[in-house]
Amino acid sequence: MVSLVTTESTVKMLIERLNWPVRLTRWQTARELGVLLSSKDYSNLATEVYLDWLSSRQFESEITSALVVLFCTPESSLPSSQAVVDSISKPSILADLMLQAIYGPIQMKREWENLHSPEVSRLYKPETYFLNHRSVYVPPLLGNEFEKLEKETGFPFICQWAFEWHQLMESTKAPYSSHPYYFVEPSLTRSGIFGQFSQRQCDVYQSAYLRALACAVDCCYLPEDLAAGVALHALPLNRGLGELNIAERPVWLSDIPEKCINPEESLEPLARNLIKPGLEQEDMRPVVLKTPMSADVAEFSNVSIRAILASTDFEYREHCSLRGGLILPLPDGVTIKGILGKKNISNFTSSGIAGAAAPLCLDLFPVPMGLWLVDYLRFGIPLPAPYVFENDVEVACSSNCIEVISSGKKVASWKVWHDRWTPLHAKDGATRCGMLTELREDEISKAQDRHGMALGWLVELNVWKQKEEHEPFELSRRREFFFD
């Protein structure tokens, strides 16, 4: 039998995965296409397929997804900027921003200024479906941003967004997305299990969002530089995260996380085995560890251990907040790289039954994070807080980890791995990925001395289980605090 599968058909099948409903698949697809574009044997074919795909898109969001491929391609292997620009069928202000990040200053056609619909009438009433689903298929942040701009400028951003959505639905005949039953059973959703998916309506909403921005710029309601910042909320993937490799599960975890599920077992002695210096990198020590338990034990579960700076008389009280968040605005708008600004430890300190404590690490939220990973990293990237260090430190992304750099040397790192990963997660939980943050031991000691605090640890076990099939998944939680 003669095989009908060819290299060209394989590459064409691969690039279609940029529209796959599972967002993580899109990320992995972009990385693989970047490899093909830089391949000695397949570069010409991959470039031809890539440019052809660009030229045949219906939605602006598909173009920005395709440009993520170039985020994952070495500079020496990029197609010519002119070839890419000429192939873009649905331009947008976001696509222009991405192209500038990839190629530097180049000549843009700026056709996005004229591809939007006419300015909507103030009497236009958005369709019920649009209003009911706008925070389902895209993050609420997009609608919140438009509501804020509407108050500031007087331009009817929400109505224009709704009108652009209607026009796209008419012209593309896009389906009204329904429950993704082929990925998650409806009974699981009814029981409180959710999935990280992007269906066709996500493309319609995102593209209409970009068209509404274009209309506001064209009608002189919004300066282009401000519109550019708002457009970045629809960025598919942060450039730094696009280069990040998924690590292997650390062998030293062994079956320790699974032993934590025994209610008769204290968490402290188990946790102490996972916070020893030098487990992963010499001269470094884990300061945040989060890992799921074996799916055979509890599919929706995690064990987390966090380092805490605490007064020597600190006594932990339930619901004591020992976490904090940190926003990192990205200098170029698309790449994880920048200085962590100074923060005062007092802003993150909480009182216990006695004494006080603060997290050694804060959860970093790059802005923008990128829509493909907004759920995948929904609780942030735990990195040592700025008040841990005496001087300013820089965050940068390498192929194996996110690094924290001080005086030109790596002082901390964060990496992520998968453990029988699926796009499903329990309410208020995360998908089955593990994370490890490590910090140099000498930096831990210096932080203790600088703040006059001791090193403590908070270990937390979360398990979501059903009492009976088809009943809601309920969260069971245990916490223990102990000093080093």
Query: Over its length of 484 residues, how does the chain's per-residue pLDDT go in tens digits?
Result: 444 468 899 999 999 999 999 999 999 999 999 999 999 999 999 999 999 999 999 999 999 999 999 999 999 999 999 999 999 999 999 999 999 999 988 877 788 988 899 999 888 999 999 999 999 899 999 999 999 999 999 999 999 999 999 999 999 999 988 777 778 887 888 888 888 889 999 999 999 999 999 999 999 899 999 999 999 999 999 988 878 899 999 999 999 999 999 988 899 999 999 999 999 988 999 999 999 999 999 999 999 999 999 999 999 998 888 999 999 888 888 888 889 888 999 999 999 999 999 999 999 999 888 999 887 788 999 999 999 999 899 999 988 899 999 988 999 999 999 999 999 999 889 999 999 999 999 999 999 999 999 999 999 999 999 988 888 999 999 999 999 9
Residue 441 has a pLDDT of: 96
Between CA 102 and CA 78 the distance in angstroms is: 9
The model's pTM:
0.91
Gap between the Cα atoms of 90 and 62, Å rounded: 8
Q: Tell me the C-alpha distance between 123 and 293, whole Å.
A: 54
Q: Helices in 38-127 by DSSP H: which ranges?
A: 43-55, 60-71, 81-87, 93-103
Nearest in space to 70 (alpha carbons), one of 41, 91, 108, 100: 100
Q: For residues 253 and 271, is the Cβ–Cβ distance under 8 A?
A: no
Q: Mention every residue, 6+ apart, whose C-beta is less than 8 A from residue 410.
A: 403, 404
Pairing relationship of beta strands 454-465 and 301-310 according to DSSP bridges: antiparallel
In whole angstroms, how far apart are CA 343 and each of 44, 369, 387, 448, 482? 49, 21, 6, 16, 26
- Residue with tokens 């976490």, as numbered in its chain: 323
CA dist., res. 411 & res. 170, Å (int): 54
Euclidean distance between CA atoms 317 and 389, whole angstroms: 27
> How many C-beta atoms surround the C-beta of residue 48 within 10 A?
13
The pLDDT value recorded for residue 1 is 41
186, 131, 198, 179: which is closest to 375 by C-alpha?
Answer: 198
Question: Could you read off the pLDDT of 144-182 as tens digits, one per residue?
Answer: 999 999 999 999 999 999 999 999 999 999 998 877 777
Residue 5's pLDDT is what?
61
